[in-house]
Structure 1
Amino acid sequence: MADTPRPAVVTGSTAGIGEAIARRLAAEGRPVVLVGRSDERLAAARRRILSAVPAARVATERADLSLMAEVRALADRLAGGTPPEIVISNAALMAPVAETTPEGVQRTLAANHLGPYLLMRSLIRPLEGRTARFIVVGADPGALARLPVDLDDLGFTRQRLGPVPSFRPFVAYGQTKNMNAMFVYGLARRLADAGITGITVNGAHPGIIKDTELGRDSRGALWLFQTVLGNLGRRPGPDVGADTPAWLASSRAVDGVTGRFYVERRAVPTAGHTTDRARCDRLWEESARLTGLPADL
């Protein structure tokens, strides 16, 4: 690591896994930038990190990753300072299927996929000629193997998403997590094709972790399922969930490694529907259209 490391940006870092990732990187001497939707929660997370790591250098940026205008403004602010060396996309939510943002985009799709897509793509040019690591926090590739992305219905307007209405936000969430893996593969390939070798991009599953707040708005059968799951066994906490994403951010063992998906620090395969080049290209092009970007880097 350089004597004066460039910042690590961690989205969704006001609690849970994101805060644990930021705290770990701060303890390694890395300046960190917390990104969240609430000034109050950002300030509280910053205080907790400073309490644990008094010498930490912690900045905050308020942005709602489900709003593309706020993502663009965030990217501009980040590029206007010292360009980050690490960008970890951890923010995620599970919104009702019918809920859309003021920009007219289904909120789960916007926050979990389009926001990270726009943020990371917007930082490529400011990082030109520098090294950087992009890490996208996904979900269990085994569990998601049966949830292929419907490329004709990214906003979940026509899919039934299963027979139990209260489970449908979970199914939509699962599809966006498969989009995360497809984005990793698509971006890694395009960076390589463009000769941009200094930026790597990898995905990670943090594990089934308690205290993430992901399902805090769940209702009905989904709430019951999550409650029962939370009471079974002893699920690990956010510090365990932070391990693989933080390791990908700082370990020399993955220098130059790109386009892979990791579970417990091991590269693992994901479902064929997430690696199929034609499918990844379709998702990439539609994501470009929805975020107002050209398809080419």
Structure 2
Amino acid sequence: MSELAVVTGASGGIGEQIAAGLARTGATVVLVARDRARLDRARDRIRGAVPGADLETEPVDLADLAEVRALADRLGERGPSIVVSNAAVIAPLDDRTPDGLHRSLATNHLAPYLLLRRLAEYPAAKPRRFVVVGASPRALTRVPVDLDDLNLEAGRGLGWPPSFRPFVAYARTKNMNAMFVYALASRLAGTGTTVNGVHPGIIKGGHLNRHDRGALKVFGAVCGMFARGTATGADTPVWLATAEEIEGVTGRFFVRRRAVETAPHTTASERVERLWRESARLTGLPATSESAP
């Protein structure tokens, strides 16, 4: 029986390339994204590039935590051995989900927090690898998470000009990704499930910047001039999910297949644990779990 792999944000860009890379290993790959039509087109493109690829689609809005819970239950019963959390969005500050959550917070951090925590509670027949796609540790050093304002109710410290603030909010969620990796890895140590983070580089071809306006749109265009292709960006996530030499390695963050350090504010234990507790509260999970992974 082939391995079961799950990739979120798989309807285009780097997520589609990660899914294609996993399909080349012979895994059954579940593509997760919000738009059913885009998912179907991505599935067809992957099948064109990887003849015989075994692909499934799960149209799920990852900003809707009820949909994420249902997805975790469907997948958990099947026991995926690879999960790559890749979905992300840069949302306007006033873009709120029906639950009152900022869309970037819900999609970029709370969805992987909820999905991976729930999946970890299911028994695993074989070692599992969880990979969380983050962003540049160096670039994120100056944007620590505001632990008193995760949901941007106050919106402190987002800087100037106003059109750039959604990117700062996004950057904070990417630091949350690293903090979550460390917290989950420590809790799953010795269980056979590894958790690692990765920066794929600045990548062309995705829909991350579709809401950009003003100065942020100009910034995105400039960055795009130096961006790498999606296939290049997918290399390290696929390597983390499949390579024999990385077996058993957990709680690390990688750039171009090399483990790197992230900012001290992402590794400070009291901050990491506080983010874990606040995320549990926002997702309706207990801060601790009775279930053994």
TM over 0.5: yes
- Secondary structure of the corresponding residue to residue 195 of structure 2: strand
TM-score normalised to the size of structure 1?
0.95
Q: Is structure 2 residue 122 aligned with structure 1 residue 130?
A: no
Q: Is structure 2 residue 13 aligned with structure 1 residue 19?
A: no
Q: Within 2, Cα distance between the matches of 1:98 and 1:217?
A: 12
For each residue in 1:175-215, what CA deviation from the matched residue of structure 2 results, as whole angstroms up to 9, or x when unmatched? 000000000000011112xxx42100000000011112210
Instruction: Give the unaligned 5+ runs of structure 2.
Output: none
2:44 corresponds to? 47
Q: 1:209 aligns with which of 197, 203, 210?
A: 203
Q: 2:277 aligns with which of 276, 285, 292?
A: 285
Q: Is structure 2 residue 70 aligned with structure 1 residue 73?
A: yes
Q: Is structure 2 residue 88 aligned with structure 1 residue 92?
A: yes
| Stretch of structure 1 that moved more, 125-134 or 210-219 | 125-134
Question: Following TM superposition, by how much is the alpha carbon of 1:99 offset from its aligned partner in structure 2, in angstroms?
Answer: 1.4
Amino acid at match of 2:213: R
For each residue in 1:207-264, what CA deviation from the matched residue of structure 2 results, as whole angstroms up to 9, or x when unmatched? 0111122101100110011112223x4x311000100000000000110000000000
For each residue in 1:48-102, what CA deviation from the matched residue of structure 2 results, as whole angstroms up to 9, or x when unmatched? 011111111000111111110000010111123x210000000000001121101
Question: Following TM superposition, by how much is the alpha carbon of 1:130 offset from its aligned partner in structure 2, in angstroms?
Answer: 3.2
Contact (CA 8 Å) 2:79, 2:124: kept in 1 or not?
no
Q: Is structure 2 residue 4 aligned with structure 1 residue 7?
A: yes
For each residue in 1:83-132, what CA deviation from the matched residue of structure 2 results, as whole angstroms up to 9, or x when unmatched? 10000000000001121101111111000000000000000121345310
| Residues 34-183 of structure 1: pairs in structure 2 closer than 5 A | 34-80=31-77, 82-128=78-124, 130-158=126-154, 159-183=156-180
Q: Is structure 2 residue 254 aligned with structure 1 residue 262?
A: yes
TM-score normalised to the size of structure 2?
0.96
CA RMSD in angstroms comes to 1.0
1:240 to 1:127, Cα distance in 2 relative to 1, 3 A: farther
Q: Is structure 2 residue 224 aligned with structure 1 residue 230?
A: yes
Amino acid at match of 2:71: L
2:194 corresponds to? 200
Amino acid at match of 2:233: G
Instruction: Give the unaligned 5+ runs of structure 1.
Output: none
1:276 corresponds to? 268
Contact (CA 8 Å) 2:202, 2:224: kept in 1 or not?
no
Overall identity of the aligned pairs, in %: 59
Contact (CA 8 Å) 1:129, 1:198: kept in 2 or not?
no
Q: Within 2, Cα distance between the matches of 1:38 and 1:163?
A: 33
Paired residues, what number? 288
Contact (CA 8 Å) 2:5, 2:80: kept in 1 or not?
yes
Contact (CA 8 Å) 1:30, 1:57: kept in 2 or not?
yes
Q: Within 2, Cα distance between the matches of 1:229 and 1:108?
A: 20
Q: Within 2, Cα distance between the matches of 1:5 and 1:147?
A: 41
Q: Within 2, Cα distance between the matches of 1:255 and 1:5?
A: 18
Q: Within 1, Cα distance between the matches of 2:281 and 2:109?
A: 13
| Residues 239-258 of structure 1: pairs in structure 2 closer than 5 A | 239-258=231-250
For each residue in 1:5-49, what CA deviation from the matched residue of structure 2 results, as whole angstroms up to 9, or x when unmatched? 321100000000000000011011111000010111111111001
Contact (CA 8 Å) 2:43, 2:55: kept in 1 or not?
yes
